[in-house]
Amino acid sequence: MKPRLTSLNVADVEREELPVDVLLVGAGPASLACAIHLQRLLEKKGLDDKTILVIDKAEEVGHHTLSGAVMDPKGIAELFPDWREKGFPVLSDVKEDWAEMLKASGGSIKLKGMLCPPQLRNHGNVIVSLNQVVRWMAEQAEAAGIELYAGFPAAETIHAEDSDRVLGIITRDSGIAKDGTPKSTFEPGMRITADVTVFAEGTRGNLAKNLDRRLGLSRGKNPQAYGTGIKEIWQVDPKIGKEWYGQVMHTGSYPLQRDAYGGSFVYGIAEDKLALGFVVGLDHKDAKLDPHGLFVQWKQHPRIRPLLEGGKILRYGAKTVPEGGYFSMPKLYGDGFCMVGDSAGFLNIATLKGIHLAIKSGMLAAEAIAEALEKGDTSEAGMARYGELFEQSWAKDELWKVRNYRQAFAKGMFRGMLDFGVAMVTGGRGLVAKRDMHADHETMQPVAQSSFTLPSFNDTDSLDKLTDVYHSGAVHEEDQPAHLLVNDPSICADKCTQEYGNPCQHFCPAAVYEWPEGSTEVTINASNCVHCKTCDIADPYENIEWVVPEGGGGPKYIDM
Ligand code: SF4
């Protein structure tokens, strides 16, 4: 089998070297919490000469960050006990919350108060824009003296010659033409070396995935399960906006097929704005599954559509979320490295919350790194402290209580509800001590069994994919090789067309993959890519590899 290409960097080129003590790859809540907490711990230990560097692939910190988001403030309150006084960006406290089951016939059943499933009760939580949160956290990090470079995508890990020890990363070369030849603007990526590298790339991190392949970090674990989330922000009629401001509604059922997992939300984020989103599990069996199409269908339900009347879309975005829970988390550390946040699966899918867990994971990693640096042992044995701290933490307790949640729902909605009921009185065990899970790419059925049909689109409330992508701000340098690598194009034309009908054209929420009628070759519109990673996860032959594009390329999420 031909070896997979996992980076677009050119080989054998002289590279500038930047040595630091701790390097954090990605500038999300986990990474920034880790950097801020580590800086404080190092100062206390008299190790304030250690250098901490955070790098991010987006042109500006926050541009690639998207979430719902209702946040449990537990994590941020631990990092900054005076978070509110310090000006942490809260859109609203949750004033009212409920769940609603949407019926295909048009009505809905409202579950409020004691009837609302406990995992969906949000009293005491706050509505935030994760994009604003990370910008605020980045300001706190910079004020504390931490170096932060945006527009620096990490393309490859560096390993010791005689072992798997992680020595740092190489950033992506820039100035490579579409045909792979260096342009006059060619600049080789930099070698950034560190005693400890923290992988905080978000869901399905490119480097984290390759590290897992190389070191078997998920050996003996369930495969990670993912969902694709679609989100829009709407400017709405002020009458609706005022009524909804601070309200949190989660909906279920419609328009999901019977054995599919997913859900949706409407959050009142300002007196004239709503955030709407839909998440669907990628173990969905239908080869024509189109998460964006499902989202549009949901918006057309009589419960949702009137909310958008007279309004206009402001933003669009998509991302995947790691849903597998405790049994799907990889080994969190190794020789010279650790993983935090979504990259390591820190998400409670039952409550749909991960920001507080991401922050906690970063803080736990910081404690382990500070101890390792003090002892001068950043080997696997030195970094093992992170695993111990996690096992003793409230983050573990929280994830342990829902350890079988997502797996049970993979067996169907009824089994999931039954199992969750039992789990509530058995400390999270449910009917079985440890439920297994299939990898998402293994669950697709042949296209002949598909029953999914796209809804009709319009230019008011049901925008098509391309119009939506425009509102994501996605842009990439056009003259560069596509960062979506198709490992074996013959599989697409010879096998996938027959068996699955080329599902990439459906599951991508940004219209990147096109199969014009009668074509035997895929057209890849890489410039549209919003970096959600759905293709890297859901392709039934694992034939697509998402790698980092040139620095700064991708969506430009504001307030998402
Ligand atoms: Fe997501 Fe892949 Fe489409 Fe990019 S190409 S938007 S990563 S599915």
Task: Return the CA Rg of the chain.
Answer: 23
In the numeric block, the tokens 């959600």 are attached to: 532
Query: What are the C-alpha distances in Å from 145 to residues 35, 48, 141, 285?
Result: 10, 10, 7, 49
Decide: residue 14, CB within 10 A, 0-12 exposed, 13-18 middle, 19+ buried.
Answer: exposed
Work out which ligand 1 atom sits closest to the CA atom of 544. 2
Work out which ligand 1 atom sits closest to the CA atom of 546. 7
Topology match between the domains 92-124+226-321 and 442-546? no
CA of 235 to the centre of ligand 1 (A): 26
Tell me which of 409-423, 448-462, 509-523 is least confident.
409-423
CA of 525 to the centre of ligand 1 (A): 10
CATH 1.20.1540.10, domain 92-124+226-321, yes or no: no
Closest CA to 342 of 2, 29, 24, 23: 29
Domain definitions of the chain by residue range? 17-66+134-223+326-400, 92-124+226-321, 405-432, 442-546
Amino acid in position 410: A
How is residue 543 written in tokens? 């034939």
Q: Per this entry, what is the length of the chain?
A: 560
* Rounded CA separation 199/207 (Å): 8
Closest CA to ligand 1's atom 4: 529
**What local confidence, expressed as pLDDT, does residue 423 receive?**
80
Work out which ligand 1 atom sits closest to the CA atom of 511. 3
Averaged pLDDT, 376-380: 98
Average model confidence (pLDDT) across the chain: 95
Report the 3 state secondary structure along 289-307: CCHHHHHHHHHCCCCCHHH
Tell me the pLDDT tens digit for each residue of 224-275.
999 999 999 999 999 999 999 999 999 988 998 877 899 999 999 999 999 9
> Which residues line the pocket of ligand 1, CB cutoff 6 A?
484, 508-510, 512, 529-535, 546
**What local confidence, expressed as pLDDT, does residue 201 receive?**
98
Averaged pLDDT, 41-62: 97
* Rounded CA separation 173/424 (Å): 51
CATH 3.50.50.60, domain 17-66+134-223+326-400, yes or no: yes
Provide the pairing of β-strand 166-171 with 191-193. antiparallel
**pLDDT over 90 for what percent of the chain?**
88
Averaged pLDDT, 449-464: 95
Greater confidence (507 vs 416) lies with 507
Closest CA to ligand 1's atom 7: 533
Instruction: Provide the 3-class DSSP secondary structure of residue 435.
Output: coil
Averaged pLDDT, 19-34: 98
**What local confidence, expressed as pLDDT, does residue 2 receive?**
63
CATH 3.30.70.20, domain 442-546, yes or no: yes
**What local confidence, expressed as pLDDT, does residue 18 receive?**
98
412 pLDDT band, cuts 50/70/90, is confident
Closest CA to ligand 1's atom 2: 535
Tell me the pLDDT tens digit for each residue of 521-543.
899 999 999 999 999 999 999 99
Tell me the pLDDT tens digit for each residue of 121-165.
999 999 999 999 999 999 999 999 999 999 999 999 999 999 999
Query: pLDDT at residue 27 above 70?
Result: yes
